[in-house]
């Protein structure tokens, strides 16, 4: 679970990520709203969608991430957005059926769903929430051809927060039998006279396109398109990203 400080550190790293926004705006223009942002975090994707006039419902399990999203969206018409605290597998079934034109899981959110039975139940819930013509976008890191993590600690970034210097270290150890990375993220925050270490641990599933295909089929969804990057370059078995666009219907 993201606490208040981890939510702030997340924003420091991801606020500048905008390369995926045009992808979501393009599909929102095609489907119309409302848009369901699953794992909306601090509202990074919600903000441009709301600014472009779409109604957006954001769902996240972390109240601290939602607090930051609420501050980010302050000043925009409240009728255009709603923030819901909860986990996907429970909250989806409390949403009105056949309401949303588009559902999105941006920037590796889907990889946090590492149990396949749970993944199928969530996809079934998304299907119920989508209109008959609605679409779903899952955006994940592409793991095809990637070497399994061996637990080595690597420097992943350097940031500033006022006078503080923050080093981000990441260690990933891959459970190849279950396709899960056990990830440890360390932020070392140094100021003029202090050093603070923040540690966050997570499990991330390494989904393949084949797994997504089977999950979609079991949930009554079909794959409409697969991209290997945020600029919607087609996926040819390996790419920077694995972006799957799904629709209702049989594969």
Strand partners, 57: 36, 82
Cβ neighbors of 72 (< 8 A, separation 6 or more) are 42, 43, 44, 46, 47
Strand order from edge to edge, sheet including 35-38: 81-85, 56-60, 35-38, 100-105, 130-141, 241-248, 221-227
Domains of the chain and CATH, by start: 4-143+206-248 (3.40.50.150), 150-205 (2.20.25.110)
Phi/psi region, residue 86 (left: phi>0; alpha: psi -120 to 50; beta: rest), is: left
Per-residue pLDDT of the chain (251 residues; tens, 9 = 90+): 578 888 898 888 888 899 999 999 999 999 999 999 999 999 999 999 999 999 999 999 999 999 999 999 999 999 999 999 999 988 888 899 999 999 999 999 999 999 999 999 999 999 999 999 999 999 999 988 788 889 999 999 898 888 899 999 999 999 999 999 999 999 999 988 899 999 999 999 999 999 999 999 999 999 999 999 999 999 998 888 999 999 987 55
Q: Decide: pTM greater than 0.85.
A: yes
């Amino acid at each position: 679970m993201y606490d208040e400080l981890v939510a702030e550190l997340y924003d420091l790293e991801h606020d500048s990520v905008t390369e995926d926004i045009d992808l979501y705006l393009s599909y929102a223009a095609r489907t119309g709203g409302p848009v369901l942002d699953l794992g909306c975090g601090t509202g990074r994707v919600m903000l441009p969608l709301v600014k472009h006039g779409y109604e957006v419902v954001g769902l996240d399990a972390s109240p601290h991430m939602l607090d930051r999203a609420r501050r980010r969206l302050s000043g925009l018409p409240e009728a255009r957005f709603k923030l819901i605290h909860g986990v996907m597998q429970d909250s989806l079934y409390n949403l009105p059926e056949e309401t949303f034109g588009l559902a999105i899981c941006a920037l590796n959110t889907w990889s946090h769903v590492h149990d396949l039975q749970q993944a199928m139940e969530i996809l079934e819930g998304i299907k119920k929430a989508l209109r008959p013509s609605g679409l779903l976008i899952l955006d994940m890191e592409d793991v095809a051809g990637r070497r399994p993590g061996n637990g080595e600690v690597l420097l992943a970034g350097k940031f500033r927060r006022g006078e503080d210097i923050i080093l981000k270290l990441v260690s990933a150890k891959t459970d190849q039998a279950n396709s899960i990375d056990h990830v440890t993220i360390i932020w070392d925050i140094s100021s003029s006279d202090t050093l603070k270490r923040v540690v966050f641990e997570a499990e991330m599933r390494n989904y393949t396109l084949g797994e997504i295909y089977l999950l979609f089929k079991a949930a009554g969804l079909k794959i409409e398109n697969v991209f290997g990057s945020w600029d919607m370059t087609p996926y040819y078995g390996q790419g920077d990203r694995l972006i799957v666009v799904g629709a209702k219907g049989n594969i």
